[in-house]
Amino acid sequence: MPQPLDYLRETASQTAGPYVHIGLAPGAAGFQIFRRELGWDIAGPNAPGERIRVEGIVIDGTGSPVKDVLLEVWQADANGVHAHPEDQRRDQAAEGFRGWGRVITDFDTGLWAFDTVKPGPVPGRNGSRQAPHISLWIVARGINIGLHTRLYFDDEAEANAADPVLNMIEHVNRRPTLIAQRSMRDGSPVYRFDIRLQGDNETVFFDL
């Protein structure tokens, strides 16, 4: 006789599946549901600060780009204020600044990109100060649980060296996997941040 279970069975794991874009970015899947795609406007037109572009690809364990990725983005404004109820200074956030976005990779090239303002440093625990950064959440087919990581800026070396989260990473040689590289394109700053899911130089992901 099978032993009776006095608890609910665990739900089977599910990857993001082929319908993630229909549900979260329907315009990219060919469904014109919204006049403006939800989450594409991160900073708004009036937020002060340096306007930047962030771009990259997500690379799998074979070195190939993953072309069906969805990323969610969270960040502070140029003064380090999050437009979020848990930030006690949220009323000071820049006009029209949302600090949240949703972007997808190009289905042909795997490139993802978004435009925003460069965030400022934000308060950390116990009086510490976190370096300017952008938080990312990554989902795609084959990823059972969304992956959390952070993007820091290579021109903030002094702040990065003191950042409490970067300093929690035991293997110092892996910290550079979270640093985006700055270049200029047509007079505007572009930060390149490739995310490696496996293999050499695998990006650091956080268990949240």
Residue-wise pLDDT for 163-183, tens only, equals 999 999 999 999 999 999 999
CA 17 to chain centre: 20
pLDDT on residue 40: 72
Both structure tokens of 153 = 């800026």
Is residue 13, in this structure, part of any structural domain at all? no
CA distance 172 to 202: 13
Is residue 160, in this structure, part of any structural domain at all? yes
Is residue 111, in this structure, part of any structural domain at all? yes
Q: What angle do CA 193, 177, 159 make, to 5 degrees?
A: 90
In this structure, the number of other CB atoms found within 10 A of the CB of residue 132 comes to 21
Look at residue 51 and give its three-state secondary structure.
strand
pLDDT on residue 138: 95
Residue 70 C-beta-side C-alpha neighbours within 13 Å? 28
pLDDT tens-digit map of 86-132? 888 888 888 889 999 999 899 899 999 999 999 999 998 888 999 99
Range of the domain at 66: 20-196
Residue 199 C-beta-side C-alpha neighbours within 13 Å? 10
Sign of CA dihedral 200, 201, 207, 208: negative
Give the residue carrying structure tokens 């200074």: 89
Is residue 5, in this structure, part of any structural domain at all? no
In this structure, the number of other CB atoms found within 10 A of the CB of residue 37 comes to 17
CATH number of the domain that residue 153 is part of: 2.60.130.10
pTM: 0.86
Domain count along the chain: 1
CB 180 within 8 A of CB 151: yes
Is residue 87, in this structure, part of any structural domain at all? yes
CA distance 49 to 43: 10
CB 144 within 8 A of CB 15: yes
Residue 84 has pLDDT above 90, yes or no: no
The stretch 194-204 carries a mean pLDDT of 95
CA distance 71 to 155: 24
Is residue 58, in this structure, part of any structural domain at all? yes
Is residue 3, in this structure, part of any structural domain at all? no
Query: Where residue 17 falls among pLDDT bands split at 50, 70, 90?
Result: low
DSSP state for residue 4 in the 8-state scheme:
P
Is residue 32, in this structure, part of any structural domain at all? yes
Q: For residues 150 and 1, which has the higher predicted lDDT (pLDDT)?
A: 150
The stretch 194-200 carries a mean pLDDT of 94
Residue 28 has pLDDT above 80, yes or no: no
Residue 55 has pLDDT above 60, yes or no: yes
Residue 20 has pLDDT above 70, yes or no: no
CA distance 26 to 33: 7
Query: Where residue 50 falls among pLDDT bands split at 50, 70, 90?
Result: very high
